[in-house]
Amino acid sequence: MMNFFPKAARLCGLVVFSSALLAGCASRPQPLYYWGDYQTQVYGHFKGEKGPEEQIAALEAVREKARSQGRALPPGFQAHLAMLYGQTGRSDRLVEQLEAEKRQFPESATFMDFLLRKFSPQVDAKVSQ
């Protein structure tokens, strides 16, 4: 049987094909959000494994890592953190986190405004004391 391509052409074709295959595998798209162990923290919250202070510390660490990498936090991250701050009585931080969630995800504005109105009597009471 006669070869249509010389040995050098077949070798060059194999190298080009292998390079293209490896290049396709190497360029994985980055996720849209930095999740860290956020999902684990939320799961632990609902299972009652850790107290709010421990969860706040863990989520603040996730936030710092996301900032250092220039990555965005996922939807609900700041709202969950606001809830934890509310449980610890830090209503100023609660408001700050709900506002941040609303800025990052404008589609959540209606719900964030509802939560802000719901907690505003508590916030106003703490400010007047």
The domain spans of the chain are: 38-128
pTM: 0.71
What is the structure's pLDDT at 115? 94
What mean pLDDT comes out for the span 108-123?
A: 85
What is the structure's pLDDT at 128? 42
Rg of the chain over CA atoms, in angstroms? 25
Q: Which residue has the higher pLDDT, 23 or 57?
A: 57
What is the structure's pLDDT at 127? 43
- Identify the CATH number of the domain defined by range 38-128: 1.25.40
Helix, strand or coil for residue 50? coil
Cβ contacts of 94 within 8 Å, gap of 6 or more: 82, 83, 85, 86, 119, 123
What mean pLDDT comes out for the span 86-101?
A: 95
What mean pLDDT comes out for the span 101-129?
A: 80
What is the structure's pLDDT at 29? 81
Q: How confident is the model at residue 122 (pLDDT cuts 50, 70, 90)?
A: low
Which candidate, 88, 92, 79, 5, places its Cα nearest to that of 50?
Answer: 88
